[in-house]
Amino acid sequence: MKPSFYDRPVVEVARDLIGCVVRHEAAAGVIVEAEAYHDSEPACHAFVGLTARTATLFGPPGRAYVYRSYGIHALLNAVCEREGVGAAVLIRALEPVEGIELMRRRRGMEGVESLCSGPGKLTQALGIGLGHNGTDLARGPIVVSARPPAWREVPVAVDRRIGITKAVELPWRFSAAGSRFLSRPVRVAVV
DNA sequence: CATGGGATTGACT
DNA sequence: GTCAATCCCATGC
């Protein structure tokens, strides 16, 4: 997707990313779950302002923000809104579509449903690491591209974000309604 | 300079 | 359901 796609309110981008494809080398999947984060609310890393850690978030839209979570996992985000605003969409789950054997080897499991059903799982399955922080999502090596025809009109469910302790009430989690590949079930409404 | 806390996962009771 | 693993970085002394 072009940078202009990401240079919009982060909640809109999160919703519109459902159904888009993430590829890294020989592995690819359709985004079935994503969450929005914005520097105006305390669950966002950028809430603390511009620091070494958040520099990518405040940078130009359309880049990858990759950080280490719980000392173990790498989590992938797409930086949104204009430079100077700290906002990003966390990619939380993919439906695997290509390189499934490679994903199985990297994850050490068989079931397709568990290969990319979580933000730390999908980076492991796709071979994404901290070295990808700041890279361009239009140029690669991680590439996000438009919805395939079958995903053009996918119904999107809305829910509260997962795994956070602040601003838990915001309905900023989006997912492909009824998908078997989510990190956790949806509790609320469908748009 | 020391410390505390995660946008998680997988193993275990 | 509970819990440990593990490390970067923001904060506070």
For the cut 80, the answer to whether the pLDDT of residue A7 exceeds it is yes
Q: How far is the CA of A149 from the C1' of B7 (A)?
A: 30
Q: pTM to 2 decimals?
A: 0.94
Do A170 and A152 contact (CB within 8 A), yes or no?
no
Q: How would you class A157 by CB atoms within 10 Å of its CB: exposed for 0-12, middle for 13-18, buried for 19 or more?
A: buried
In this predicted structure, the answer to whether residue A139 has a pLDDT above a threshold of 70 is: yes
Per-residue pLDDT of A91-101, as tens digits, reads 999 999 999 99
pLDDT tens for A32-79 read 999 999 999 999 999 999 999 999 999 999 999 999 999 999 999 999
Element (H, E) at A103: helix A100-107
Residues A175, A32, A21, CA angle at the centre, nearest 5°?
140
For chain A residues 75-94, those near strand B by a CB cutoff of 7 A are 75, 77, 88, 90
A146: which DSSP letter?
P
Q: Which nucleotide is nearest to A68 (CA to C1')?
A: C8
